[in-house]
Structure 1
Amino acid sequence: MELLKQDIFDLVNLGIVDQANIMLGSRHDIIPAEFSLTTLGNEYFSAMELSSIPKNDIEPIYDELKYRDIFGLNEKGTKNVGIPH
């Protein structure tokens, strides 16, 4: 999980993923429900044909990003809800 959070943090810093214009100080500031691809990220997504990845391969990653009570509330006072379907 920590490696995945670091990868997402790096993608934000590279301008591939947008974190709803929230500044990230570290990988611990990532809010999965708030991120989306930037224009550059969408270009990479299309060029790499990532939409062809079977949903069954993506589900375990999604499950790791889902909110758990042990995570507590985020800085907005709400639960981090994982990746929207």
Structure 2
Amino acid sequence: MQSIFWTLEEVARRAKQFYERDIRRNVEYGENIGKMIVIDAETGEYGIDATGVETALKLKQKNPNARLFTMRIGYDVAVSFGGTVERTTE
């Protein structure tokens, strides 16, 4: 994939656009409310888990340059923008 610089605001805008257009109706129900969703702002691929950490690691493993946006399902507050996720082995 092409490497393009996006501001944090652009990552958030694109991810929220995917969420509103394609994802929300599939995830906002019962047991998902309050869980974390991580969205790849370039592809719209996403995953859900309790903290967002495992999903972010999986998405980064698939695409190390992914621009990820994390938010809590059912809430209007975003909790993080992009960033780097690294797994340490000890």
Fold match (TM-score > 0.5) = no
The structure with the greater share of residues assigned to strand is 2
The structure richer in helix per residue is: 1
TM-score normalised according to structure 2 size:
0.30
